Amino acid sequence: MAASAPLPPPRLLAIALALAVVFSAAGARMPASVTPISRNLYHSSDALLRDIKALVARHPDKLSMDTITASNKGYSTELFVVTFNHVKESMDNDSKIHVLLSFGQHGRELITSEVALRLLYILTEKHKIAGVDLLSFEKMLENLVIKVVPMENLNGRKRVEEGELCDRRNGRGVDLNRNWSVDWGKKEKDYNPYEENPGTAPFSEPEAQIMRELTKSFKPHMWVNVHSGMEALFMPYDHKNTTPNGASAHLMRSVLENLNHRHFQDSCLVGSGGGAVGYLAHGTTTDYMYDIVKVPMPFTFEIYGDETASTSDCFKMFNPVDKKTFDRVINKWCMAFLILFEEGLRNLRDAQGAVDNWVTMGGDIVEGSAARESSDEKRKLEGLDLGMQELRTYFRLFMLSTALLMFMFCTRISKNRNRDTDEQSA
């Protein structure tokens, strides 16, 4: 008889809760569909590095490579910098425009490093891109020294290759695009402690330290931080909803708008990182490059995003997964860089002397108090993430109440059946 007695409500609730937790946990462990890394399209970090080393070895007249290591509190990293210096000896390097490009600051954005590799190929071997002959750019390239960091966040990238497809942070969980000193550590209402961990202090991370030193020694005129997650051409600021004032801002905007018009049919989002997407980011690299290093043209490019991908399907959200899109994105953005170099060179030469920032380029870089924050690509997507989290919570509550109702219903039937059986046998 005890077996057919009604269960006390607390016990019933506990069982329903347990069922709901099991359902919910199973859901979390097994997302509906997660796209793996397309190994047939993407290089592993080791293979990418091997290809770059081989390329440098084939073109010692144009390319060189430095390996820089740094460590902090038991955590160490290695950073590779490839320098392209066309017809090295024919011209005084100081008169050239210095361009610094960084790819892969966020581990999960693999497509960016593929663009870096292809760009190096185009500059040295594969002189044709999307039907355009690089010969038309040859003269322009003679006036540039280009430093390319193909994988800024090597440790974070390796974690992604090991299966942490949603991780954008470095090897010990710090977002390298929040670890710089301009407005460092400030947290917005939608601050995501997992994604946006700024580290224990500005430049606590060896990757950021190396990049800062590289910037000090190279003194770039143009900086591009290359990311994925959406498509946009950003200028400062990331940490506030405005662009800087004055001639330098005018110059930056005109370069981006010309690039957008010439190459993207005005389809790209152009503006300040903080303003264009309506979210703010603090401690970013590009804001530091502008406010502290006084780089005349500091940009953040967002080169690809799949808005239809589920937020748990990170590889697909940040990287093309079919060959056609993969090739199209790479070609489009390699060409964009060539046009950017051309626009940058022309505008910088025209503006030399007229822009305040220009005169500081040959001087010492002094950290001022003007530090201000910056942006990141992904604020919009992070907002979307928060929305999805809410939806997931509602869904779990719904599952819980459904499980509870079903359990009560089944218990009722079972009780009735037992009573029927009891009555029959009696």
By beta-carbon proximity to Zn ion, the closer residue of 260 and 319 is 319
By beta-carbon proximity to Zn ion, the closer residue of 175 and 291 is 175
353-392 residues in contact with Zn ion (CB under 5 A) are 377
**Candidate list 86, 106, 212, 239; residue touching Zn ion; CB under 5 A:** 106
By beta-carbon proximity to Zn ion, the closer residue of 227 and 294 is 227
How far apart are CB 112 and Zn ion at their closest, in Å? 8
Number of chain residues interacting with Zn ion (CB under 5 A): 3
By beta-carbon proximity to Zn ion, the closer residue of 184 and 358 is 184
Nearest Cα residue to 78 out of 65, 93, 92, 67? 67
Our separate counts of H helices and E strands in the chain read 13, 10
Answer for the pair 127, 134: CB distance below 8 angstroms, yes or no: yes
> Given the rule CB under 5 A, which of 16-24, 99-107, 138-146, 384-392 is the region that contacts Zn ion?
99-107
Q: How many other C-beta atoms lie within 10 A of the C-beta of residue 422?
A: 11
How far apart are CB 381 and Zn ion at their closest, in Å? 10
With tokens 């010309």, the residue in question is 258
How far apart are CB 168 and Zn ion at their closest, in Å? 6
State both tokens at 114.
């593929």
How far apart are CB 228 and Zn ion at their closest, in Å? 7
By beta-carbon proximity to Zn ion, the closer residue of 212 and 227 is 227
Cis peptide before 194 (omega within 30 of 0): no
By beta-carbon proximity to Zn ion, the closer residue of 219 and 227 is 227
How far apart are CB 193 and Zn ion at their closest, in Å? 17
Nearest Cα residue to 226 out of 145, 134, 313, 298? 298
By beta-carbon proximity to Zn ion, the closer residue of 169 and 227 is 227
By beta-carbon proximity to Zn ion, the closer residue of 77 and 285 is 285
How far apart are CB 25 and Zn ion at their closest, in Å? 29
How far apart are CB 232 and Zn ion at their closest, in Å? 11
Amino acid letter, 287 = D
What are the CA-CA distances from residue 94 to residues 64, 121, 218 (Å)?
A: 18, 25, 10
> Given the rule CB under 5 A, which of 192-200, 224-232, 305-313, 333-341 is the region that contacts Zn ion?
224-232
Query: Interior CA angle at 109 toward 218 and 107, to 5°?
Result: 75
- Measured in degrees and rounded to the nearest 5, phi and psi for residue 150 equal -75, -30
Q: DSSP secondary structure string, 224-252?
A: EEEE-SEEEEEES-SSSSSPPPHHHHHHH
Give the Cα separation of 338 and 51 in Å (integer): 22
Pattern of binders to Zn ion over 56-95, x per CB under 5 A? ----------------------------------------
By beta-carbon proximity to Zn ion, the closer residue of 196 and 377 is 377
> Given the rule CB under 5 A, which of 51-59, 81-89, 100-108, 239-247 is the region that contacts Zn ion?
100-108
How far apart are CB 261 and Zn ion at their closest, in Å? 25
Answer for the pair 276, 232: CB distance below 8 angstroms, yes or no: yes
How far apart are CB 329 and Zn ion at their closest, in Å? 15
How far apart are CB 226 and Zn ion at their closest, in Å? 9
What are the CA-CA distances from residue 273 to residues 207, 220, 240 (Å)?
A: 22, 20, 8
> Given the rule CB under 5 A, which of 103-111, 188-196, 242-250, 292-300 is the region that contacts Zn ion?
103-111
By beta-carbon proximity to Zn ion, the closer residue of 227 and 380 is 227
| Strand intervals (E) in 73-189 | 75-85, 97-103, 128-129, 132-133, 144-149
**Candidate list 86, 159, 227, 380; residue touching Zn ion; CB under 5 A:** 227
Give the Cα separation of 376 and 196 in Å (integer): 10
178 touches Zn ion by CB under 5 A = no
Binding footprint of Zn ion on the chain (CB under 5 A): 106, 227, 377
